[in-house]
């Protein structure tokens, strides 16, 4: 951890601010130099929260003087309230704020919360489409054959490419839009679902952070848009004869358990959907998912999130057929932290110039 790069300047709109970057990545000295030159007087502290043994440093393990006077914070895990008493802006490194909802700082409307929505989108979209293609082309089975040297007849299985198939994206934010972009390249038809109605071109524009060359900022890709806050509205969307369903929505009280037995019944009609969950494990009734997989009600599923996490080694989900489970890694990429710093720098600029920040959290909707 370092305080050596703090600027002692007393000019500029951020001159009274102390920024603490508390993330599992080594100190980025060039970035610190750039932002302290841009924002005169801003003091920057950096703590690499990744320990040598691979575990994560807790806030209490950081010396108290590092927290002293901090007014801007970027982190993932919420620190104790007393350590962030003076913080006015929290830039979380996640796309959602479900870990923060009961934190006193989150309940304080004078503290601005911004997510890092958008920095995870390209890699998570690759995970979704990769899992889908792996299932459609039976890569896991062929990988198992390699262990025994078995050459399967090319006529022994049915393979369906993606062209002309339909993907439904439940939660058309940055991640959903990145999935849509790749799916369209594969020739898929895209249906989008959002909480609120997006009836006009202006309402379909996404103003959150977007990695250049990815996504669907203007909202032009979906063939059809659906919306609503009720389970009935979601069920209508699920009934659109989907080949692939992507869950990329925030976990809130109204979205917890959004897929259960009744919904798998709907998804099992017609084409039988493949379900990919890159949101939160709490969105899916896992017992219902196991039943749907074992009965062949749906064609398969891929989960990067489970409930609980880590998933216990004896959990029946591990043994369900036609299922891929990864340990909440779809967000990972070597480019992640540079994108996080990009969002943070954009918001520092907006804070310094009095402009509206990006990725500001709606405290009622929690995203």
For residue 129, what are the CA distances in angstroms to 31, 68, 70, 80, 353? Answer: 33, 45, 41, 38, 40
* pLDDT at position 11: 64
Q: What average pLDDT does range 253-276 have in this prediction?
A: 96
Q: Which of 10-19, 172-181, 213-222, 256-265 has the lowest mean pLDDT?
A: 10-19
d(CA 91, CA 359): 9
- Whether 361 has a pLDDT exceeding 50, the answer reads yes
**To the nearest 10°, the Cα dihedral for 271, 275, 276, 278?**
140
Is the separation of the CB atoms in 84 and 105 below 8 Å? yes
pLDDT band per the 50, 70, 90 thresholds, residue 3: very low
Domains of the chain: 18-119+333-353 (3.40.50.720), 121-325 (3.40.50.720)
* pLDDT at position 204: 98
Is the separation of the CB atoms in 22 and 73 below 8 Å? yes
Structure-token match 């750039």, residue found = 34
Give the tokens for residue 30.
């060039």
User: Which residues is 302 bridged to in the sheet?
Assistant: 276, 324
316-332, pLDDT tens digit by residue?
A: 999 999 999 999 999 99
pLDDT band per the 50, 70, 90 thresholds, residue 96: confident
118-130, pLDDT tens digit by residue?
A: 999 999 999 999 9
Structure-token match 């691979």, residue found = 54
145-176, pLDDT tens digit by residue?
A: 999 999 999 999 999 999 999 999 999 999 99
Q: Which of 70-74, 221-225, 269-273, 312-316 has the lowest mean pLDDT?
A: 269-273
Whole-model pTM: value is 0.92
């Amino acid at each position: 951890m370092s305080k050596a790069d703090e600027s002692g300047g007393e000019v500029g709109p951020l001159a009274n601010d102390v920024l603490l970057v508390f993330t599992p990545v080594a100190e980025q000295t060039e970035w610190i130099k750039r932002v302290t030159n841009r924002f005169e007087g801003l003091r920057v502290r950096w703590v690499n929260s990744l320990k040598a043994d691979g575990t994560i440093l807790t806030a209490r393990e950081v010396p108290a003087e590092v927290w002293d006077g901090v007014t801007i914070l970027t982190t993932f895990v919420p620190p104790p309230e007393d350590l962030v008493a003076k913080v006015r802006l929290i830039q979380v490194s996640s796309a959602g704020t479900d870990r923060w909802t009961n934190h006193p700082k989150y309940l304080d409307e004078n503290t601005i919360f911004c997510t890092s929505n958008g920095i995870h989108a390209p890699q998570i979209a690759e995970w979704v489409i990769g899992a889908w293609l792996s299932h459609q082309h039976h890569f896991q089975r062929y990988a198992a054959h390699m262990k025994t040297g078995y050459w399967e007849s090319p006529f022994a299985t049915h393979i369906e490419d993606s062209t002309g198939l339909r993907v439904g994206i439940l939660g058309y934010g940055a991640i959903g839009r990145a999935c849509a972009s790749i799916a369209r390249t594969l020739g898929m038809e895209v249906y989008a679902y959002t909480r609120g109605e997006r009836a006009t071109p202006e309402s379909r524009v996404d103003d959150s952070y977007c990695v250049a060359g990815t996504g669907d900022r203007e909202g032009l890709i979906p063939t059809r848009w659906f919306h609503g806050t009720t389970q009935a509205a979601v069920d209508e969307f699920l009934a659109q004869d989907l080949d692939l369903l992507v869950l990329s929505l925030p976990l809130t009280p109204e979205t917890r358990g959004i897929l259960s037995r009744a919904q798998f019944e709907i998804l099992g009609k017609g084409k039988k959907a493949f379900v990919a969950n890159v949101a939160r494990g709490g969105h899916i009734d896992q017992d219902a998912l196991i039943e749907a997989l074992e009965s062949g009600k749906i064609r398969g599923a891929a989960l990067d999130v489970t409930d609980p996490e880590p998933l216990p080694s004896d959990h029946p989900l591990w043994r369900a057929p036609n299922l891929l489970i990864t340990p909440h890694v779809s967000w990972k990429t070597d480019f992640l932290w540079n994108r996080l710093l990009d969002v943070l720098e954009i918001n520092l600029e907006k804070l310094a110039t009095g402009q509206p920040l990006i990725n500001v959290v709606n405290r009622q909707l929690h995203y």
